[in-house]
Amino acid sequence: MIPLPHYLTVSAILFTTGAIGVLMRRNALIMLMSLELMLNAVNLSFVAYARLHQDMGGHVFVFLSITVAAVEAAVGLAILLTIFRTRATVDVDNLHLLQR
Amino acid sequence: MDATALLESTGALLPHLTVLVTGLVILTLDLFLTPQSRYLNEVVGLIGLLVAFLFTLSTAGAPRQVFMAMAVVDYLGAFFNATFLLIAALTILLSASYVRREGVSAGEYYALVLFATTGFMFVAAAADLIMVFLAIETLSIATYILAGLLREDPHSQEAAFKYFMLGALSSAFFLYGIATIYGALGNTNLVNVAQALGQGDFSPLLLMGMALLIVGLGFKAAVVPFHMWAPDVYEGAPTAVTAFMTAGPKAAAFAAFLRVFFQGFTTPDMVQHWAPIFAFLAALTMILGNFVAMAQQSLKRMLAYSSIAHAGYAFVALVAHNTLGASSILYYLVAYTLMSLGSFTVLMVVARREGPLYAFDDYAGLGTTHPLLAAMMALFMFALAGFPPTAGFAGKFYVFSAAVQAGYYWLALIGLLTSVVSVVYYTRVVMLMYMREPNGAQPIPRLAPTTMAVLGITAIGILYMGIFPGGVMRLAEHSVAFLFQAKM
């Protein structure tokens, strides 16, 4: 059996990768994907901890978090679509109307 | 969970469900409305909020957990419910003329406002960390869409995108924090968390979880250094939505802070871990918010920074882990709601349709061309700056005395000094209105009755809370009393 710390380490690495992706990448679609990666990393640690505590709660949280991630993706893509319609690009460097 | 428990739980959450159902009703009703009968959207919304308020009064009582200890109904939740319902009602009133002018589809708009309000109310009713997360997501997703409501406007799109990206990022941090705390304690119910901590259950994992929660909630409350989305989003979003966003999600974030840190991580050794962090964040927020606000060329952006600064003041009270601290947060949030919604209403009325948007020059000579509006704006500016006898003064007084009571003299001092700095940029607006000649900007159209109502309610509220602060303060103290009962 794979011990618990392995799961947690993978989860932490995935989360960090996702966070770096959101902060560094300039393509909005890749940023969205990184965001999903972060949420899924959290799901992994929820399941691992649920196993540790022999508690079903953690498994249920994963379902809730998957639902939230789906909703976020839907809204995020919709917002991206409106941006793409007016600017024909999803590069976030083009979003600078509001900086002074 | 059997049928009676289910029925009882549903009954306890009637205020929340009423708001949700009202939103759904508006969404459906809007399909059948003609341009002449469009006002029914607002009427139905306001009636729903009133019913929800009455339910709030009837369900308030001693703390009781419902829905398998996921939600809790108590006086703290009731106080927040009343605040959120006030925010929603004022938003509906101030949006009535804005929605028509900008051609926003009213049904979706009001439905989203009400859905977001449902989210606020569930934050205040959360008894479990996962519930806090779900409620915050509910309100965030509704506000992301609201920020991008002017689909054709590049500013609005950009605001929505930035808000979404950083909001979702902070949600991920928050969720990771919950997972870590779940790992450390095997439980996410806030009362159980407090019990486990009381028995000396402690690990570095727990501290990491707490830090992640602070990051996640800090983003939502727009506290420096997690504020970078706020000025852009507040500037780019439709003004009515900005007014809603500076009041609602901010108050909800503080509700979450109170629930998580005053009810969950409330043991003395935990407090000594988080209080210094909060003190540092509060100081940074007040300093940066106020100094950057001074340099702004657009009134809307200035109010955005002022909103950040005010989150800092409310944060000062969070540092003081005592009854005065908790109750002064509630007082401050109500006061800030009134000041912010009032000033954004004026901003909305005066806004020009072309040229530099929300420039300070729009206000030149407003005192002679539109004395009533100018007087209102002056009142809001003085209130935001914290002059007596307004709610802004009383709020700051309570917040700083809470900090002094808790021994944070330096924090209270920074608060006072930055308040002095804030006077500079607030009075700039007042000087423009009264000491400059009108510059022949386009005349302001006659105020709609709904807009007048918002201005009247906020102005009277600010004066009432400033002259007789005792009433609201007593209610607030009553609401937070149970948080500190166990220890006294």
List, for residues B270-279, the tens digit of each pLDDT value.
888 899 999 9
How far away is chain B from the Cα of A79, in angstroms, using its nearest Cα?
6
Is B47 or B368 the better-scoring residue by pLDDT?
B47
Buried b / exposed e over B194-209, threshold 16 CB at 10 Å, is: bebbeeeebeebbbbb
Report d(CA B300, CA B193) in Å as an integer: 41
Is A97 in the B-facing interface, judged by CB distances under 8 Å? yes
Is B160 in the A-facing interface, judged by CB distances under 8 Å? yes
Is A91 in the B-facing interface, judged by CB distances under 8 Å? no
What integer is the mean pLDDT of B420-439?
88
pLDDT at A89 over 90: no
pLDDT at A62 over 60: yes
How far away is chain A from the Cα of B189, in angstroms, using its nearest Cα?
11
* Residues listed for chain B: 488
Is B484 or B333 the better-scoring residue by pLDDT?
B333
| B335 neighbors B391 (Cβ within 8 angstroms) | yes
Report d(CA B488, CA B474) in Å as an integer: 19
Q: What is the dihedral of CA B29, B31, B32, B34, to 10 degrees?
A: 110
pLDDT at B322 over 80: yes
Distance, first Cα to last Cα, chain B:
34
Q: What is the dihedral of CA B359, B365, B368, B370, to 10 degrees?
A: 0
Instruction: Report helix, strand or coil for B66.
Output: strand
Inspect the interface and report whether the beta carbons of A49 and B182 lie closer than 8 Å. yes
pLDDT at B488 over 50: no
Contacts of B154 in chain A (CB under 8 A): 86-87, 97
Is B272 in the A-facing interface, judged by CB distances under 8 Å? no
What integer is the mean pLDDT of B373-398?
92
pLDDT at B34: 86
pLDDT at B197 over 50: yes
What integer is the mean pLDDT of B281-310?
92
pLDDT at B153: 86
What integer is the mean pLDDT of B223-241?
90
ipTM: 0.96
Q: Is the pTM of this model over 0.90?
A: yes
**Residue whose tokens read 């999803």:** A90
Amino acid at B458: T
pLDDT at B208 over 60: yes
Is A84 in the B-facing interface, judged by CB distances under 8 Å? no
Quick one: pLDDT band at residue B441, thresholds 50, 70, 90? low
Inspect the interface and report whether the beta carbons of B164 and A64 lie closer than 8 Å. no
Question: What is the tally of helices (H) and strands (E) in chain B?
Answer: 20, 2
Question: What is the dihedral sign for C-alpha B476, B477, B482, B483?
Answer: positive
| B14 neighbors B82 (Cβ within 8 angstroms) | no
- Given B155, B175, B188, which is nearest A98 (Cβ)? B155
Inspect the interface and report whether the beta carbons of A98 and B159 lie closer than 8 Å. yes
Contacts of A98 in chain B (CB under 8 A): 155, 158-159, 162, 231-232, 235-236
How far away is chain B from the Cα of A2, in angstroms, using its nearest Cα?
17
Is A93 in the B-facing interface, judged by CB distances under 8 Å? no
| B140 neighbors B256 (Cβ within 8 angstroms) | no
Distances, alpha carbon B477 to alpha carbons A52, B37, B199, B297, in Å = 41, 43, 28, 40
Backbone angles phi, psi at B76, to 5 degrees: -60, -50
Domain boundaries, chain A: 4-94
Q: Looking at chain A, which residue has its C-alpha nearest residue B233?
A: A98
Which of A31-40, B216-225, B278-287, B437-446 bottoms out in mean pLDDT, i.e. has the lowest? Answer: B437-446
pLDDT at B486: 59
How far away is chain B from the Cα of A37, in angstroms, using its nearest Cα?
10
Closest CA to B455 of B97, B110, B105, B101: B97
Instruction: Report helix, strand or coil for A91.
Output: strand
pLDDT digits (tens, 9 = 90+) for A2-45: 888 899 999 999 999 999 999 998 899 999 999 999 999 999 99
- Given B130, B151, B169, which is nearest A64 (Cβ)? B130
pLDDT digits (tens, 9 = 90+) for B117-164: 999 999 999 999 999 999 999 999 999 999 998 888 888 999 999 999
Inspect the interface and report whether the beta carbons of B154 and A87 lie closer than 8 Å. yes
Contacts of B187 in chain A (CB under 8 A): 57
pLDDT at B11 over 70: yes
Range A4-94 classified under CATH 1.10.287.3510: yes
What tokens were used for B138?
Answer: 């509910």
Closest CA to B230 of B334, B307, B149: B307
What integer is the mean pLDDT of B294-309?
91
pLDDT at B351: 79
Burial class (CB in 10 A: 0-12, 13-18, 19+), A3: exposed
Is B192 in the A-facing interface, judged by CB distances under 8 Å? no
Q: Looking at chain B, which residue has its C-alpha nearest residue A19?
A: B169
What integer is the mean pLDDT of A90-94?
82
How far away is chain B from the Cα of A67, in angstroms, using its nearest Cα?
10
Contacts of B301 in chain A (CB under 8 A): 100
Closest CA to B215 of B277, B267, B139: B277
Q: What percent of chain B has pLDDT over 70?
A: 97
Instruction: Report helix, strand or coil for B359.
Output: strand
Contacts of A91 in chain B (CB under 8 A): none
What integer is the mean pLDDT of B341-364?
80
Instruction: Report helix, strand or coil for B203.
Output: coil
pLDDT at B487: 47
Inspect the interface and report whether the beta carbons of A57 and B188 lie closer than 8 Å. yes
Quick one: pLDDT band at residue B204, thresholds 50, 70, 90? confident
Is B151 in the A-facing interface, judged by CB distances under 8 Å? yes
Q: Is the peptide bond before B389 cis (omega within 30 degrees of 0)?
A: yes
